[in-house]
Structure 1
Amino acid sequence: MLKYLSNYLTLAGRFFKPKKAFWRINQNIRSRELRVIDADGKQIGVLSVQEALKKAAEAELDLVEIAPAAKPPVAKIIDFAKFRYQQEKKEKESRRKEKKGSEQKEVWLTPFMGESDYNVRLERVKEFLGEGNKVRIVVRFTGPQMSHREFGYQMAEKVKSDTQDIAGIDQAPKFLGRQLMMVLTPVKQKVTPEVSS
């Protein structure tokens, strides 16, 4: 029995897709009264479904129920194809932003690296933070360098001070094996209005 159930669940997962957004339009709207908004975004008021359908027909547009949970439900007089396209575009954009901002990037440093190498890595850190990603700073130690752990903390402190205006500390510097790790998170910058004299 269990064997058949697991096969069914795999088949069900393969063939059944999650539901997409669903809007009731025109005659499929079930409510008796609706709060109606016209194509320009102006609120018409609470109307019966028949009156709302009549107004939509006069404008040669569709009546779309956009907030069915509201009391009374909210419907808008719009071109449904255009509305659906805009909603799908918004959804796709939000998924893209969510995916982009959730990444964690990693930048490797050494405790005794040269100034030019450090500046290149620092620019990469600033670029990642500017894109809205978290950045893990890893200071790698090799062999005899492990006896000078304080230089790793100095390197982490240097990165922290060089990025203090655009980043905050998500995880303080700590050793894991032969590596010192620290996580920086981007900080939203406040826009200050200029004072004209």
Structure 2
Amino acid sequence: MNEHIRYPKVRLIGSDGSQLGVVPTEEAKEKAFEEGLDLVEVSANADPPVCRIMNYDKFRYEQKKKQQEAKKKQTVVETKEIKFRPKTEEHDMNFKIKNIKKFLAAKNKVKITMRFRGREIVYAQTLGLEAMNSIAEALQEDAILLQPPKMEGRQLVMFVGPK
């Protein structure tokens, strides 16, 4: 910007966006100061480098506003986790399914985990898969199955996401 531009010649763009051609850097600085604006380097990689006459403070302010707008519109998707055991009763299962539906309504992904302790691991392929499939059926209207039930160590894990 201004005095920090050290090139002998630059391609100059006016404050209204018009091309002013290739001019010596000193002349470009003079034109910028006559208009009461700044000479700002836009593209250093070009040959010769491209500079623009603009109000740099106003430009920075507008850039900041654009970033804030983009930040407002961006949504963060969290991954919530619900844990089950193979011997979880029907009522508790329904209560946890209701919580999963709340998470999905808030546009969050849900990791459903069934943990097997000790000798319960024997039931992983029978009771565990049946329970996971019944949960998937109950969530069919509200969710998309992102990852089907899969064993990870002593846990059976399934991911669902909002529709």
TM range (shorter): 0.5 to 0.7
In structure 2, what is the Cα distance between the partners aligned to 1:117 and 1:173? 17
Shift of 1:87: 4.6
Shift of 1:178: 5.2
Shift of 1:89: 6.0
Pairwise CA RMSD: 3.9
Question: Greater strand share, 1 or 2?
Answer: 2
1:64-103 maps to which residues of 2 (within 5 A)?
Answer: 64-87=40-63, 101=76
SS at match of 2:113: strand
- Among candidates 114, 117, 121, match of residue 140 of structure 1: 114
What's the CA shift string for 1:37-64, capped at 9, x where partnerless?
3334x24243322332232122201001
Bigger RCO of structures 1 and 2 (CA < 8 A, at least 6 apart): 2
Shift of 1:90: 5.9
Normalising by the residue count of structure 1, what TM-score does the alignment of the two structures yield? Answer: 0.55
Deviating more after overlay: 76-85 vs 59-68: 76-85
Q: Aligned residues, how many? A: 150
**5+ residue gaps in structure 2?**
none
Structure 2 counterpart of 1:33: 9
Structure 1 counterpart of 2:132: 152
Larger Rg: 2
Shift of 1:104: 4.5
Normalising by the residue count of structure 2, what TM-score does the alignment of the two structures yield? Answer: 0.64
Label 1:59 to 1:65 Cα distance change in 2 as closer, same or farther (>3 A).
Answer: same
Identical positions, percent: 29
1:46-195 maps to which residues of 2 (within 5 A)?
Answer: 46-48=21-23, 49-87=25-63, 101=76, 104-108=78-82, 110=84, 112=90, 113-114=93-94, 117-129=96-108, 135-140=109-114, 146=123, 148-149=127-128, 150-156=130-136, 158-159=138-139, 162-164=142-144, 169=146, 171-177=147-153, 179-184=155-160
Shift of 1:71: 2.4
**5+ residue gaps in structure 1?**
1-24, 130-134, 188-197
In structure 1, what is the Cα distance between the partners aligned to 2:46 and 2:158? 47
